[in-house]
A and B are shown apart, each in its own frame.
Chain A
Amino acid sequence: MTQDTGAADLTSPLAPMTAGGSDQAASGGRLRKAAARSIAWLQAGPMMLVFALFFLLPLVLVIIVSAWDYNEYEMIPAFSLRGYTDTFEGCISGLPELCTILKTYLKTLKLCLLTWGLTLFIGFWVAYFLAFHVRSKTWQIVLSLLCTIPFWTSNVIRMIAWIPLLGRNGLVNQGLIGSGLTTQPIEWLLFSEFSVVLALVHLFTFFMVVPIFNSMIRIDKRLIEAAYDAGASGWQTLVNIVIPLSKPGIVIGSIFVITIVMGDFITVGVMGGQQIASAGKIIESRLSALQFPAAAANAVILLGITILIISALTRIVDVRKEL
């Protein structure tokens, strides 16, 4: 319906000139529109295909498998919610004591929150320094590239590099004992929540720096001057101008960090000495026990929780609008 009127509008100036031509022109307009639409589809096509094949399809499979039955050694393609009920086993009967799964999720959330807070704090100030204190474009680029250097080595190597530093006989402990600050080596430096958070912050701060820097660099410097002109102190300018205008970057960086940390099991495993449970770790251990439906069910639960957190974040800032 709307198409027809559109085509008619297009050709209406021609109508009086060529009495019979208006039909032709109308169909020509429709054809052109159809062609334009198919070009748009063609342009979006490759990405859609990749997206469908490598994201949507696996996701649908995971959801389907999560509702299958299973026993000790195989999965049975029949509808069952055993994956879910097994996961939450004893959660109601065991109250007020928290069941394993809830404890694990609380622990994961705690690690996630700590990492998020620290990466946000560090990332914000690094981005602030890069965007407002480094004056020349060249230096901004050089210093941002410098931030990426750690990514030249793999995650695992960067994690393992902490071990000789933080271990019982590691550099830090030796230094502390040598300087007489302690007599006993500090145990909580490695294979602890401390070391897990430390490694996570080390690995993921950069994901906070980039989007926040990107938001800050787009703040018109004249706005800072205008605030100064209005008598704002440095701190007032930060709170009233810089932070509100960096919000999109903060939210995007937060989404990066939270999704990565919520699903992480390697860092938690290596740096926690395989002693700390996390949501990702549950999935991994279910998988290695070949209990695919249970692993899938856990994956769906994790996905649900992560989506909840992210939608809460995007509720605070409408990222689409701010971009």
Chain B
Amino acid sequence: MRSLILLTASRLLFPLLLLFSVFLLLRGHNAPGGGFVGGLVAAAALALHALAHGISATRSVVAVAPLNFVALGLGCALGSGLVGWFWQQPYLTGLWTSLPLLGKVGTPLLFDLGVYLLVIGMVAHVLFLLWEE
């Protein structure tokens, strides 16, 4: 049951939603948003894509097994805590620096990125599993 309306809409909305999820991720430190919400929006984009194009098409868009996203995200989040050790700070201490072009970046951003990836991977994993039953 392919719907032309849904197909067209998802073609427009899918990149837009992904972009919006990145926007949420980046503004999240001091304003509403963050890795968790961003990840959920990105996962919702995947769900929309799967509704319109079928689950196998979405699988090929994601390209790798969602569990790898979970592992990578968890790795980013845990790794961001280790940075503090090099400056004799306790685990998970937030450290910030300014980089050219990028602006202010720091370990909390890396942590948020980890959460973002983890949520995408986790929701996509559940989605694929339940959808393909």
A binds B: no
